[in-house]
Amino acid sequence: MRKKFFILVFLSLLLYGFDYFHLINVIKEPLEPYIVSVKKNIFQNFSQIKLLPKILFSYNTLQERIRESHKIRNDNSQMQLKITSLEEENASLRRQLGAPLPSNYQFITSDIIAVSRHMEIDSGRRQGIKPGMSIVDGLTLIGRVSQVTENRSLITLLTDRELSVPAISNRGTRGKVEGQLGELVVLKEVLQKDQLFLDDIILTSGEGGFPPKLIIGKITRIKSDDAAVYKEASVELFADITLLKKIFVIAQ
């Protein structure tokens, strides 16, 4: 097998030499395809061999260019993330600035750093936050500040049993919104005689230390018993905290 290979190589080189010195012009026409194939392979392989020293000497340069390419891609990815973050931040700011709240309200912008039963934000006493301040996104109530350290605050959410918010419907019906843990919120202490319908909007009444007319949610189910003094309703919150990255603390 090896002997046959060397014979083919020898014949190929012989043909190449004869063609180079124009010694086979008579039989060149029939052998033209084979000569073209041989010359092409020899030329391409020889070209690659000629490039080898350049590749070896420019190895460090190639490596540096590869590293630069990776860095550019990483920088582009980081820039895209920053652009997305700025767009989200601008959207939050526009939403907050467009909320028709009293002009004397001051807002402390904060980033959300954790959410479980409570929400944790990156602002605290140093930024002017105090327990009892309301947390909003636009006109929507998120919760209330419950604990404060120098640079962090803990927010009790509307879904927490510890939070009770005096509320009023868009029809003027009064009650109290209380959390049931999870995502469930209930409007309680609503008198049987008072009007309450599905899709009614529930707002803060302005009592209990909460600013008035902040949106809480809408009625999705009503539970009524004519023998009882009060009726209650399930409330679907307007705020989806899983989509929030930034909130606003109302510093009245």
Could you tell me which of 138, 133, 196 has the C-alpha nearest to residue 167?
Answer: 196
Would residue 189 be called left, alpha or beta, if left means φ above 0 and alpha means ψ between -120 and 50 degrees? left
Q: Is 150 exposed, middle or buried (0-12, 13-18, 19+ CB in 10 A)?
A: exposed
Query: How far is residue 37 from each of residues 19, 46, 123, 213, 250, measured CA to CA in Å?
Result: 13, 14, 75, 86, 81
CATH number at 102-252: 2.40.10.340
**C-alpha 241: how far from chain center:** 13
Could you tell me which of 54, 237, 48 has the C-alpha nearest to residue 141?
Answer: 237
Around Cβ 80, how many Cβ atoms within 10 Å?
10
What is the rounded CA–CA span in Å between residue 94 and residue 90?
A: 6
H or E element that contains 141: strand 140-148
The full set of domain ranges for the chain reads 2-57, 102-252
What is the rounded CA–CA span in Å between residue 155 and residue 206?
A: 19
pLDDT tens for the 252 residues of the chain, in order: 556 556 655 656 666 566 555 555 555 556 556 555 655 565 555 545 555 565 555 656 666 766 776 666 665 555 554 545 444 555 555 555 555 566 677 888 888 899 988 999 999 999 999 999 999 988 899 999 999 999 999 999 999 999 999 999 999 999 999 998 666 799 999 999 999 999 999 999 999 999 999 999 999 999 988 888 899 999 999 888 888 888 999 886
